[in-house]
Structure 1
C-alpha cells in the first residue's frame, strides 16, 4: 500500500517515472485522473504544466496500487497531515456523513490511518455492529425433489418426475436464507474494498467479513439495484449500511483501470461539508437560547415580475434562526474560503455581501453572519454595519478542529 498525502490547493507533479514514496504521479496515472474528471463535479482539480492541482474537494482517489489523499487546509496544522485528517474526520462525523464508531472515541485513533482505510474501517465497524444483531435473512421459494415432505407437494411435478421414483417427493417450500439482494450488495462492496490498496488492519477486517458472507451469491451490484431495495422492520437496521454501499459504488470507476484494478474516488465538497458542520454546531447553540435552526430555508423569492406576477430569484439561506413564534431572528451563511483582515474588505466576496443585504431586506432581520473557518488572518469576529439600515453583519471564524468552544452570534 502506497499513499500520497496532499493538502488542499497543493500541486502534484506529473513525471515520466517515479520512485516509491515520491510525491508525484506518472503519465498513466494522470491519464486515469483525466478520465475520472469527466464523472466528477466541475473544478474538482485543475491542470498545470506537468502538474495537477486539487481544489476545494477533499477525500481520496485510488489509482491502482497508489492512493492520493487530499486533506483540508487547517490553520496552524498545514504541516501536520494527521491533524488535518483528524479534523476532516471530525467534520464528516459532525456533519453526519460518517457515522461515529462504537464507543465514541475510535475516530481519534483513525487519524493514524490513511484516509481510504478510515472509510473502510468505519464501514467495517458499522457492519460488524449490525451483524452482531443478526444478518439479513428472508424467505425464498424453493422447488426441489427431496426424500421427505416439506411444505406442499406439487402433484403435477410429482407425476412428471417421480412415477418411477416412489422414494422422492417434489415439494414447494419457503426457506429462510441469507442469499438476498441486500446481502449481495454488501458482499459486492466488500469485494471492491478487498481489491483496493489497504493497510493490514483494513485488509484483515474485510477478509473476516467476506467469510461471513460466504453463503451469499456473488452479484455485480450497481446504483439501480441499490435504489430498488426496500426496507422493512427486519431490514431497516441496514439502511445506513446500504447507503454507504451506494457511496462506494458511486465512487467506483470500473471503466478506468490501472493494471487490473478499477479506480475509485471518494471526495467531499468542502463548501457543503463546512455548511453541514457549522449547522450542526449552531443548531445546538441556538437550542440553548430558545431558538430553532432551519437549514436551506425558509425559501423566499427576491422579486415579483409585475406584468406576469411571476416570482423570481429564489433565496435559500444556509441557516435561519427562528424563535418560538417562528419569527426570523437572524440569518447566517457558511463559506469555506480564505480571508485577510489586513485588507479593508477582508477578501469578502461582493456577491456574498449583496446576498446578505438581500436577506436583511427580504426576511426583515437585523442580525446577519458570514461564517468562515478559523484562519491566519481571521482569528476573532469582525462586525460590519450595513449602511442605510439597522442590520449588522458579523464575520465569524469557526475552529474546525473542534478544540475551541464556539459561541453563537
Structure 2
C-alpha cells in the first residue's frame, strides 16, 4: 500500500533537513503538493497552516484528524493529540471510539476497529470494515428488484409497444417490441456497492485486502456500475428485509463521496477523510453524556433560547451552549455544559491557571446569567489525559450562587464512567446502573 506518515494535531511537516527543527519529513513533491493545497483550497487552509522555523518552510497540521492521500503514492495520517505520552494505536482507538458515536458513522465496528488500530492506518481500517460488511451481506444474499426492460424479442412478453413495433417490425413480423419487468439484482443498492468496490483498487491497499476485494468484485460481476451515483443514492430505499444492507451502504456512500465528510472541494486527486476535532468531541459528548446522568435528567444539545442583548425588538448575538441538562418532566434547565477540545493540565495552577482560557469564562458567565438566572452549576468539559485525569476540585465562583466546574471526560471508558464528576456532586449525579440512563434527542451532526 501507499507509504504512510503518521502525525498528531499541531505537528510540523517539512522536507529536506527540516527534521532538525522537529518536523516530520515528507518527500519534496508531497510537501509542494500540500503547500499548494493549504494556499489554494479553502478547507485545505483549515487543516494545514504554512509557517517557518529557523529559516525552514514548514506546514503545521491544525486541529483536524483523519487521513489524506496524495497523488504521489503517499498518505498523511493525522491523529488526535490527547496527552503527551501518545502512541499511534491509542490515538487511533480514541478517534475511532468518538467516530462510532457520530450520526453517519455508527456502522463502525468498534471492537474490530480497536484491534485493527494496533497495526493499520485509518484508511486501511475503513476499507477493511467496508469489505467485511459486503462479505457479510453476500452471505445473506443480494437483494433483487423488478427492473423495467425494453427489448425486441422473438416472443411476446409483458406489454407490446405499438409505435416501436410498427417502426421496427413491419418486415420482421416474428419479433415483438415489448416492455416488461424482470426480477434482477440490478437495483440501486447493488449498483452503489459495485461502484464503491470498483473505486477501491486505485487506493493501493494491503495485499490481504486486495485479494478480498478481488473476490467481492467477482460476486458483483453481473451487476452494472452505477450510471448516475447521485440519482441512485436519492432513489435508494432500504425496505423491510434489507437491514443487512445498512452497514455496507453507509460505507459505500462514504467511499463514493471521496471518503470525505470534509471533502477537499475542487481537488479530485486527493482522497480525504478529515474531521474537525472540536466538533467530533462535542458530538461525542452529546451522544454519550445521557449514560453519565441519573434517569430523571436529559440532555438538550445546541440550545439557542437566549441572546446576549436586545436591540429594539431584535435579539442579537445568540447564546448557544453545547449542552443543557434539563429535568424530564418540567424541561427546567438544571446545568449548563460546554465542551472544549483542548489539553488542560491540572498541575499548572499558578503558572497558567491550568491552561484555561479567559474567553471561555466570559462565555460561561453569559450562559449562566441567561440560562440559569445567575444561580446554579456549570461545567467545562475537556478530554481526559495523563495530566488531567481528575476534576479540578475547587470550583470557580462567578458569584455566591453561580459555580463553574472544570472536569475531564474519559473517551475510551465504559458507559457510566466517562464523566469525571467533582467529589462534591458525584454521589448525586452518578446514574443508577440498574435503570436506563436518560435519553437524548440529537439530530445535528458535526458543526
Mapped to 1, the partners of 2:408 and 2:240 lie a distance apart of 45
Aligned residue for 2:79?
71
What is the match of residue 27 of structure 1?
28
Encode CA deviations 1:329-387: one digit per residue, 9 max, x unaligned. Answer: 11111111122331342221112111111111111151110011123432311132323
Which of 31, 40, 45 aligns to 2:43? It is: 40
Tell whether 2:390 aligns with 1:380: yes
Cα shift readout 1:243-264 (whole Å, capped 9, x = no counterpart): 544433243669657xxxx321
Partner of 1:273: 280
- Looking at structure 2, the residues matched to 221 and 163 of structure 1 have their Cα atoms a distance apart, in angstroms, of 35
Asked if structure 2 preserves the Cα contact closer than 8 Å seen for 1:35 and 1:256, the reply is: no
1:17–1:283 Cα change, 3 Å: closer
Runs of 5+ consecutive residues of structure 2 not aligned to the other structure: 422-447
Change (3 A) 1:281 1:141: closer
RMSD, aligned CA: 3.1
Tell me the CA shift for residue 221 of structure 1: 5.6
Bigger mean CA deviation after superposition, 172-181 or 52-61: 172-181
Partner in structure 1 of residue 381 of structure 2: 371
CA distance in 1: counterparts of 2:184 and 2:17, whole angstroms: 52
Q: Determine if contact 1:136/1:234 at 8 Å carries over to the other structure.
A: no
C-alpha distance in 1 between matches for 2:305 and 2:222? 50
The residue number in structure 1 matching 2:326 is 322
Q: Indicate conservation of the 8 Å contact 2:188/2:236, yes or no.
A: no
Contact 1:110 1:118 in 2 (8 A): yes
1:272-351 → structure 2 map (5 Å cutoff): 272-286=279-293, 288-297=294-303, 299-305=305-311, 307=312, 309-324=313-328, 325-341=330-346, 342-344=348-350, 345-351=353-359
Q: For residue 169 of structure 1, report the CA deviation from its aligned partner.
A: 2.3
**SS state of the match for residue 270, structure 2?**
strand
Tell me what 1:228 maps to.
234
**Structure-2 separation of matches of 1:225 and 1:389:** 60
Using the TM superposition, give the Cα deviation of residue 134 of structure 1 relative to its aligned residue in structure 2, in angstroms.
4.2
Q: Provide the residue aligned with 1:126 in structure 2.
A: 133
Distance 2:130 2:82 in 1: 26
State the match for 1:190 in structure 2: 197
What is the distance in 1 between the residues matched to 2:381 and 2:292? 15
- 1:59 maps to 2:66: yes
Residue in 2 aligned with 1:354?
362
Moved more, 118-127 or 314-323: 118-127
Gaps in structure 1 of 5+ consecutive residues: none
Task: Give CA-to-partner distance per residue, 1:167-202, whole Å, 9 cap, x none.
Answer: 322221112333344433333332222211312233
Q: CA deviation at 1:148?
A: 2.2
Call closer, same or farther: CA 1:407–1:88 in 2, change over 3 Å: closer
TM-score by length of 1: 0.85
Does the 8 Å contact 1:188/1:221 carry over to 2? no
Residue 432 of structure 2 aligns with which residue? none
TM-score of the two chains, using structure 2 as the length reference: 0.79
Q: Could you tell me how far apart the structure 2 residues matched to 1:50 and 1:244 are?
A: 38
Partner Cα distance (1:185, 1:131) in 2: 14
Aligned partner of residue 339 in structure 1, secondary structure: coil
Distance change >3 Å, CA 15–CA 214, structure 1 → 2 = farther
Residue 254 and residue 387 in structure 1: after superposition, are their counterparts in 2 closer, same or farther (change >3 A)? Answer: closer
